[in-house]
Amino acid sequence: MQSTAYDEMQSADGSHRIHYRRYCAWLESQAPDRLARRRAEADSLFHRVGITFAVYGEDEGSERLIPFDIVPRILAAAEWQSLDAGLRQRVRALNAFLNDVYHDQEILRAGRIPSELILCNAQYRPEMQGIDVPGRIYAHMAGIDVVRGATGEFYVLEDNLRVPSGVSYMLENRKMMMRLFPELFSRHSVAPVEHYPDVLLENLRSVAPVGAADPTVVLLTPGAHNSAYFEHAFLAQQMGVELVEGQDLFVRDEAVFMRTTRGPRRVDVIYRRIDDDFLDPLAFRPDSTLGVPGLLSAYRAGRVTIANAIGTGIADDKSIYPYVPDMIEFYLGERPLIANVETYVLRQKEHLEYALAHLEELVVKEVHGAGGYGMLIGPAASREQLAEFRARIRANPERYIAQPTLALSTCPTFAGATLAPRHIDLRPYVLSGRDLTIVPGGLTRVALAAGSLVVNSSQGGGTKDTWVLES
Amino acid sequence: MLARTADHLYWMSRFIERAECLARMLDAHYRHSLLPHTADVLARDWRATLASLGVLDLYLARHGTLQPDTAFDFLAFDREHAGSIVSCWRSARENARAVRGTITSEMWETLNSTWLEIRQYESDHADHDSGDFLEWVRYRAHLSRGVTLGTMLRDEAFRFTRIGTFIEGADATARMLLARAHGSPGPSDDAAGPDAYGWTLLLRSLSAFEVYRKVYRDAVTPRRVTELLVLRDDLPRSLGRCTSEIYQNLREVANDQSAETERRAGSLYSEFHFGRLEQLLAPGLQSFLYGFLAQVHDLGDRIAQDFLVPPVLI
């Protein structure tokens, strides 16, 4: 499997790919101790700036760094153009699907997706039925995970439409690279990503409720103990909006206000980084102390915009994923530009039988799982693990999907003092407002352990700066 | 601005100031301890310092007897003691982290790196000279102040930061005077009296010794030191200066319900601005200082009520 993975830097004959040539020439000219010094510098800068993710239950000093690798992941202009087009198409279809599911449900009536798969899904929010959201946009921020297969073609592995995270690392990684190796940026024309917060703010303001002349946007965080708190604070600061917690907001007469030093102030748009379940204790989980009582009523009355909308989870659920290509055809009348990974839906009998017979070749995922938890990687699993999963799948087949184990592409990465190939993926961020915007590139995540296919930061993954070359 | 944000900013700057004042206080102690003294005198000094900070009982309950090293660790490094330098910095940093999007990134980096370095000191403080550590804390406080004044927009956030700083500063200067005044009926004019050196050290630990020379061009007497530290509103850490800053900054953030707080701050300020030392000290230096501390405490409570944790209005 390792031998068949696509190498981002080198082609099969061992020569450097064209878009990597200039970088490789530079890399070969660098003294090893200069690179080592730069890597140490990056670590200490990330620490000082506090670009960390909090680890629950540990002392505040042991907030961890997400390891940063100094070798960039480079995409050629043409590669990016086709990715960009495919991502736009996909997110347009996903938003159309969400609008349809929460209105007329034509796609269900047309029989393209089984109704019970939607209506019996915990991610489907009946509270959203019939609500018109501004611009018919549900997923204002989408993180679409794409991977490259053995022949270099891209696949979408997963859609993230609830509260996708990681964009702050994309921005900070670029800043770090420019600080460590300014000379590289004078040799390459790397497409900039720094305008992301501006686009985000403009989009959020564009979806404010009708009548809000100068809309007030806030970012709602679960608080300083949340693992992604750095990102929340960072984005709020970059956009110049208030970073609020649930306790800072209250609802009066179906409008949302924040408590300020000069009394209540109206809030028009909430960029929330809290899951649906915790948003409003009156509507969802009553034990939630993170949310705002009455928020749903204000939202239903159209007095506040919540981004992403409530109920987007129905479109990124892993049981719905296999139907995204159908959505593209159904809503846009187009052929999907980026393919899905072949997926066995284990609630279907023939798929189940195949998966149980080929478990040691497959990756099995929980339908509602996220973050790389609750996952089986067949080829790497022990006999006991396989047996355990087989039993779990038999007990609740509808909870699982299975996919062939992909030979994710590799990119040279520092392992100790030397470079070694490590598997990577890519999460581009797609912003929907009046227009659809994708900053070139995204976040490249890298599995740091040799041979590992799990790139999640909670599972020991690192990140790289991602370059899209403009020429 | 968000009330909770103002609250974090206010407490962030209070804790930074508190850490600095503790370092200044311990520094005076440390220098004093280098002079030839009997163990009795040293113990008495520690007693006065701990009492003026209001933690003497807590200390005795935890440690029994007064040992200079234990007392030093209690005020400098003890994480279990919320009033130690390390605990104050930790609280300052936690508050800063909660509003890292509001303060400038230079401020955040300064506070964060201070905390990371403190952890270094903590892990090997046996190898360090106490004097080094205290000097380092003061240096980091200068840096924090500089980055605040040098980078922050002069908006509401800045005002709440300043209010926190000067509420704490007023409290600290009063407590340092209190520690020196302990046991003496009132500041005398006698330059050669008992503890004469102690008054000089007080000036030094408040960075006011050279100022004293410049203003008085004369020997150090307890009465003049008191006058300088209480009344001079051109001296950065004097009670007069701190109350003036509190009042000015409060006026900038006034809201619908803060009129009474503003009035009290103004009245306190004018006592120093227009009052005479004899008048202020009529009840005795200690009583005056305890009265002052109570007024500062009252202001702190009222600021919290008016701005920081406003009652829920639904």
pLDDT of residue A2: 43
Q: Are the C-beta atoms of residues A136 and A108 closer than 8 Å to each other? A: no
* Long-range contacts, B45-51 (Cβ 8 Å, 24+): B46/B71, B48/B179, B48/B180, B48/B182, B48/B183, B49/B25, B49/B75, B49/B179, B50/B75, B51/B179, B51/B182
pLDDT of residue A451: 84
- Single-letter code of the amino acid located at A352: L
Q: Assess whether pLDDT exceeds 70 at residue A58.
A: no
The structure tokens 């800072």 sit at: A248
Cβ of A236 within 8 Å of Cβ of B101? The answer is yes
Q: Assess whether pLDDT exceeds 50 at residue A375.
A: yes
Convert the pLDDT of each residue in A207-227 to its tens digit. 999 988 899 999 999 998 888
Burial class (CB in 10 A: 0-12, 13-18, 19+), B34: exposed
Q: Which pLDDT band holds residue B182 (cuts at 50, 70, 90)?
A: confident
Convert the pLDDT of each residue in B52-81 to its tens digit. 899 999 999 999 988 888 999 999 999 999
Q: Which pLDDT band holds residue A374 (cuts at 50, 70, 90)?
A: confident
Kind and range of the H or E run holding A353: helix A349-357
pLDDT of residue B314: 44
Q: Assess whether pLDDT exceeds 90 at residue A56.
A: no
Q: How far is CA A309 from the centre of its chain?
A: 16
Q: Are the C-beta atoms of residues A200 and A432 closer than 8 Å to each other? A: no
pLDDT of residue B180: 85
Convert the pLDDT of each residue in A387-441 to its tens digit. 999 999 999 998 899 999 888 999 999 988 899 999 999 999 999 999 999 999 9
Higher pLDDT, A113 or B27: A113
In terms of residues, how long is chain A? 471
Q: Assess whether pLDDT exceeds 90 at residue A204.
A: yes
Q: Where are the domains of chain B?
A: 1-152, 154-305
- Chain B CB within 8 Å of residue A247 CB: yes
Collect all residues of chain A within an 8 Å Cβ-Cβ radius of residue B3. 248, 259-261
Q: Give the fold, CATH level 3, of A210-303.
A: Rossmann fold (3.40.50)
Collect all residues of chain B within an 8 Å Cβ-Cβ radius of residue A237. 100-102, 105
* Least reliable range by pLDDT among A8-22, A48-62, A289-303, B134-148: A48-62
Convert the pLDDT of each residue in B96-147 to its tens digit. 999 988 899 899 999 999 998 998 888 877 666 888 899 999 999 999 999 9
Rounded mean pLDDT of chain A? 92
Closest CA to A339 of A355, A326, A358: A326
pLDDT cut 70: percent of chain B above it: 95
Higher pLDDT, B306 or B44: B306
Q: Where in chain A is the domain with CATH 3.40.50.11290?
A: 210-303
- Single-letter code of the amino acid located at A225: H
Tokens of residue B184, six digits? 């003496």
**Tell me: domain A342-404, CATH 3.30.1490.270, correct?**
yes
Q: Are the C-beta atoms of residues A21 and A11 closer than 8 Å to each other? A: no
- Chain B CB within 8 Å of residue A233 CB: yes
Q: Which pLDDT band holds residue B263 (cuts at 50, 70, 90)?
A: very high
pLDDT of residue A167: 96
Q: Is A438 helix (H, G, I), strand (E, B) or coil?
A: strand
Collect all residues of chain B within an 8 Å Cβ-Cβ radius of residue A242. 1-2, 5
pLDDT cut 90: percent of chain A above it: 77
pLDDT of residue A268: 98
Convert the pLDDT of each residue in A253-299 to its tens digit. 999 999 999 989 999 999 999 999 999 999 888 888 899 999 999 99
pLDDT of residue B186: 65
- Strands A305-307 and A269-272, sheet pairing: parallel
pLDDT of residue B310: 62
Closest CA to A307 of A135, A80, A125: A135
Q: What is the pTM of this model?
A: 0.88
Cβ of B2 within 8 Å of Cβ of A259? The answer is yes
- Single-letter code of the amino acid located at A19: H
- Chain B CB within 8 Å of residue A242 CB: yes
Chain B interface with A: residues with Cβ < 8 Å: 1-6, 90, 93-94, 97-102, 105, 108-109, 112-113, 115-116, 119, 156, 160, 253, 255-256, 307-308, 310, 312-314
Convert the pLDDT of each residue in A115-174 to its tens digit. 999 999 989 999 999 999 999 999 999 999 999 999 999 999 999 999 999 999 999 999
Cβ of A261 within 8 Å of Cβ of B94? The answer is no
Q: Where in chain A is the domain with CATH 3.30.1490.270?
A: 342-404
* Least reliable range by pLDDT among A40-54, A354-368, B8-22, B199-213: A40-54
Residue A15 is given by DSSP the state P
Kind and range of the H or E run holding A160: strand A154-160
User: What angle do helix axes A229-239 and A167-180 make, rounded to 10 degrees?
Assistant: 80
pLDDT of residue B41: 79
Convert the pLDDT of each residue in B275-298 to its tens digit. 999 999 999 999 999 999 999 999
